[in-house]
Amino acid sequence: MIDTIKPLAKKTDSKILMVVLDGVGGLPLDLNGDTELATARTPNLDALALESQLGQLELVGAGITPGSGPGHLSLFGYDPLRFVVGRGALSAVGIGVKLSAGDVAVRGNFATLGEGRVVQDRRAGRPSDEKNAEIVAKLRAAIPEIDGVQVEIYTESEHRFVVVFRNPGTPLGANLSDVDPQATGVTPLVAHGHDAVSEKTAELVNAFVTRAEAALADEAQVNGVLFRGYSDVPHFPSFEDVYQLQAACIASYPMYKGLASLVGMDVLDVEGEEDALDGKVAALRANWDKYDFFYFHVKKTDSTGEDGNFDAKVKKVELFDALLPQLLELGPDVVCITGDHSTPSKLATHSWHPVPVLIRSAYGRKDAATRFTEEEAARGTLGLRRGTDLMPLLMANALKLQKYGA
């Protein structure tokens, strides 16, 4: 799609605001119940829905559960089946790590392991960033290198950390299997390389896991590591080059900042806690005149879903709803609210269910949807679409696309 859009894109003065409520899609706890979105009291979202067109997005394809990286790539118009990037590189770039050709970045979770190395908690109780940094310092002292390969370890956030393997002169491969079983009650997996150049990386990863568990043996909760999302250096067509947009990213979590940076968005400084969102609103307001596209990310709708906490996810939706008028008062010409995937509390993980999408502009058609919920979105005029359709729709509603053909 980006190859079609690129020659049609044109610069205008109109502004687009894309809000991504991470993992916003949900499920009812009982068959006849309501989802988290439908349960939440959202007067501002409801009022906006009455002025908007709604629909649903499949970020990758029918029945495919997207990770956050593929989900966001799809929203930004990059086919995630064509543009593939591992979580490791997104996280590394998001915290300012410079990757070179031949390096491999890996996304890690600190975990709680019980007797027999059984995974009790894949997120080690979501430790504080301070505790994360303490554990990272301990690992750096214990694992400076493996078999002559440099090992760099970085704090990301809460239970997340990043490892970069550097082997100057001998490139490493990123085509290997996960250590993270993405389940509890089982033992961590053993990494296996899927090609010759990745077999060395798998050996490094397995050695790191063994050494890390030894170094953390005295820790009560953060005593194991799980890996997934291996990646070498990715390259993407520039967002500005494709869409003729000056784009800004407003996010707190490194992974999302990393992805925005890789596609060429400017990543704005955000102060304060993610949960409060005040810093993000301040960054949006301070930079409103400098850009014509804003990506505004809200994380905790996903975190609470992953924790299986239905009521907490409802509260995070309501927290955003209370914030919404501050975003709208800036006067964006096109407003979009959607998610990068569904994270139903009932499943406590990502799922394949489509996410609702809302678009408000001066050029929408009358829509039957009356709320921003999954059920109402299914009634909307936008229908069920691929995630990569979103950017062309936003560009069209902003009058930023020329006619195709004679």
Question: Cα–chain-centroid distance for residue 13?
Answer: 28
CA terminus-to-terminus distance, the chain: 19
Asked if 177 and 95 sit in the same domain, the reply is yes
Assigned token pair, 172: 């490493």
The candidate with the shortest Cα–Cα distance to 358, out of 79, 69, 45, is 45
Measured CA to CA, the distance from residue 252 to residue 97 in angstroms comes to 16
Global pTM reads 0.78
Q: Are 118 and 42 in contact (CB under 8 A)?
A: no
Q: Is residue 151 part of a domain?
A: yes
CA 161 – CA 349 distance, rounded (Å) = 19
Query: Are residues 380 and 284 located together in one domain of the fold?
Result: yes
pLDDT category, 188, cuts 50, 70, 90?
very high
* 260 within 8 A of 249, measured Cβ to Cβ: yes
Structurally, the chain folds into a number of domains equal to 2
User: Same structural domain for residues 102 and 222?
Assistant: yes
Indicate if 312 and 357 belong to the same structural domain. yes
Tens-digit pLDDT profile for residues 22-42: 999 999 999 889 999 999 999
Domain boundary among 231, 261, 285: 231
Indicate if the pLDDT at residue 402 is higher than 80. yes
Whether 214 and 256 map to the same domain: the answer is no
User: 384 lies in which domain range?
Assistant: 2-82+236-397
Is residue 370 located within the same domain as residue 259? yes
Is residue 403 included in any domain, yes or no? no
Same domain? For 155 and 285 the reply is no
Q: What is the mean pLDDT of the chain?
A: 93
Report the distance separating Cα 342 and Cα 74, nearest Å. Answer: 14
Nearest-5° angle of CA 3, CA 102, CA 94?
Answer: 65
Q: What would the pLDDT profile of 294-308 be if each residue is shown by its tens digit?
A: 999 999 999 999 999
Same domain, 115 and 188: yes
Banded pLDDT at 62 (limits 50, 70, 90) = very high
Are 171 and 316 in a shared domain?
no
- Both 150 and 258 in one domain: the answer is no
Considering the domain architecture, whether residues 119 and 242 belong to the same structural domain is answered as: no
